[in-house]
């Protein structure tokens, strides 16, 4: 029997210190970027605020979630990797602010952008356990990492030639070709990351499946937010058409950058892990309802305008009222259908209560009713202990 002294090893003590240093570097880069942007605005120098917001969201999202994982689940490798991605994103914002005219610092910022994207793919290959799916998948992780480094070096040394559409002279053409050939393997890494997540979900059960579901939800939320950002201005009325740049450029991309690290943090730290069924159920329900309501509105406005030749104001009013009236019944029916697939616990609980209510109408024996009530309570609420007190008459 080994007695624990309660003392932490030097390596365990250094982990939170390193995480704090990395988070400090991220915050320092972002503060430096803000200071430069303020100076540029006062000096009349143009600045891309939209891309800065995206970089800020990525750096803080990966940095903060990586810090939580590194300090609370130190055995998981995802924490240091996410902190590294936050540092890379912070450096990209700082260097691109210092040199926005295409100098060598701007080339370093471009290389940081490539490293960030490639690091996210490596992150997906390791999530949520911090280890590859099997030992055979290690070579895919190394291949992805090497291709990312080659692409970053290519962006660092040959960015100007690539943008100008020219070929480097001398031995540079050979090096450029080597970097490009090795970097061409990156799409394989992206495809492997998607396959790895699918296989993890298929082979896992219970807790691990919930973890993989959170990672997948965070990964899918990013592309969906970006697609919404591109499509929403087309649905919007003229009054908010000026928000096109905000929705396209910064807001949706920023939210997309935070979605994946948030999903990974929930998966690793296991905070409200089993709410993923509810999240998926509600997301799917409201997405379907939104699509139906928009289709009803567009259909009524189109028919009223083209077929009945009604004025635009009347067509919009009729479409709005009809869509509003259809929202509630469509939502109720859609929730019932979606809960059967994604949120089984809620659906099964409702079915159990309804079945008990039907049996209660015909049952007169108090002992049977009491036992049935306690059984329903145990199946729906799953308490650690339960009892029923009846007042004597």
Asked if residue 223 and residue 355 are part of one domain, the reply reads no
Q: Is 248 among the domain residues?
A: yes
Cα–Cα nearest to 220, from 259, 250, 255, 275: 259
Q: What is the pLDDT of residue 274?
A: 46
Parent domain of 89:
13-271
| pLDDT tens-place string over residues 86-121 | 999 999 989 988 877 777 888 899 899 999 999 999
DSSP string, 196-235: HHHHHHHH--THHHHHHHHHHHHHHHHHHHHHHHHHHHHH
Q: Are residues 85 and 198 in the same domain?
A: yes
Region 272-298: mean pLDDT is: 68
Query: In this predicted model, what pLDDT tens digit does every residue of 159-180 receive, in sequence order?
Result: 877 777 777 777 778 898 899 8
**Together in a domain, 222 and 96:** yes
The share of the chain scoring above pLDDT 90, in percent, equals 20
Model pLDDT, residue 237:
37
Same domain for 297 and 239:
no
Are residue 232 and residue 313 in the same domain, yes or no?
Answer: no
Determine the Cα angle at 212 with ends 261 and 250, to 5°. Answer: 30
Q: Are 99 and 109 in contact, with CB atoms under 8 Å apart?
A: yes
Per-residue pLDDT of 320-360, as tens digits, reads 888 888 888 888 888 777 766 655 555 566 666 777 677 76
Instruction: Report yes or no on 232 lying in a domain.
Output: yes
Q: Is residue 8 a part of any domain in this protein? A: no
**Claim to verify: residue 97 and residue 168 sit in the same structural domain:** yes
Asked whether residue 313 falls in the same domain as residue 369, the answer is: no
The radius of gyration computed from the CA coordinates of the chain, to the nearest angstrom, equals 28
Indicate if 189 and 77 belong to the same structural domain: yes
Nearest to 189 by CA among 227, 158, 221, 151: 151
pTM for the full predicted model: 0.65
Mean pLDDT of 207-231: 77
Among residues 203, 196, 217, the alpha carbon closest in space to that of 127 is found at: 196
Q: Which residue has the higher pLDDT, 165 or 268?
A: 268
**DSSP of 161-180:** HHHHT----TTHHHHHHHHH
Is residue 4 included in any domain, yes or no? no
pLDDT for residue 362 is more than 50: yes
pLDDT confidence bin for 149, thresholds 50/70/90: very high
Residue whose tokens read 């973890």: 211
Q: Are residues 89 and 52 in the same domain?
A: yes
Please, what's the largest Cα pairwise distance for the chain? 102
> Alpha-carbon distance 120 to 86, whole Å?
11
Asked if 62 contacts 263 with a C-beta cutoff of 8 angstroms, the reply is: no
- Structural domain contains residue 281: no
pLDDT confidence band for 391 (50 / 70 / 90)? low
- 71 and 169 in a single domain? The answer is yes
Our count of domains for the chain comes to 3
58 shares its domain with 37: yes
Cα 270 from Cα 207, distance rounded (Å): 9
């Amino acid at each position: 029997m080994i007695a624990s002294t309660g003392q932490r090893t030097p390596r365990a003590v250094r982990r939170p210190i390193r995480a704090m240093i990395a988070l400090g570097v991220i915050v320092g880069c972002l503060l430096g970027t803000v200071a430069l942007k303020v100076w540029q605005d006062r000096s009349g120098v143009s600045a891309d605020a939209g891309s800065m917001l995206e970089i800020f969201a990525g750096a803080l999202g990966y940095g903060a979630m990586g810090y939580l994982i590194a300090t609370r689940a130190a055995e998981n490798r995802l924490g240091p990797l996410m902190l590294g991605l936050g540092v890379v994103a912070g450096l990209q914002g700082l260097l691109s602010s210092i040199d926005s005219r295409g100098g060598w610092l701007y080339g370093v910022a471009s290389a940081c952008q490539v490293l960030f994207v490639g690091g996210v793919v490596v992150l997906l290959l390791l999530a949520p356990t911090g280890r590859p799916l099997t030992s055979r998948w290690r070579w895919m992780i190394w291949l992805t990492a090497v291709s990312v480094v080659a692409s970053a070096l290519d962006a660092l040394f040959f960015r100007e030639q690539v943008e100008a559409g020219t070929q480097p002279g001398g031995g540079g053409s050979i090096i450029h070709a080597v970097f490009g050939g090795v970097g061409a393997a990156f799409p394989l890494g992206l495809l492997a990351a998607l396959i790895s997540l699918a296989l993890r979900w298929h082979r896992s059960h219970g807790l691990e499946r919930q973890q993989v579901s959170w990672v997948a939800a965070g990964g899918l939320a990013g592309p969906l937010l970006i697609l919404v950002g591109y499509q929403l201005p087309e649905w919007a009325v003229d009054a908010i058409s000026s928000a096109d740049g905000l929705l396209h450029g910064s807001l949706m991309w920023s939210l997309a950058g935070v979605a994946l690290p948030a999903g990974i943090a929930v998966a690793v730290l296991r905070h409200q892990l089993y709410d993923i069924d509810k999240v998926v159920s509600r997301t799917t329900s409201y997405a379907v309802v939104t699509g139906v309501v928009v289709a009803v509105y567009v259909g009524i406005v189109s028919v009223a305008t083209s077929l009945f030749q009604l004025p635009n104001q009347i067509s919009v009013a009729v479409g709005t009222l009809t869509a509003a009236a259809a929202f509630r019944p469509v939502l109720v029916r859609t929730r019932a259908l979606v809960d059967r697939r994604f949120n089984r616990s809620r659906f099964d609980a409702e079915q159990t209560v309804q079945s008990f209510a039907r049996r209660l109408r015909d049952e007169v024996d108090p002992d049977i009713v009491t036992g049935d009530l306690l059984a329903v309570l145990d199946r729906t609420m799953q308490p650690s202990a339960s009892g029923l007190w009846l007042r004597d008459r």
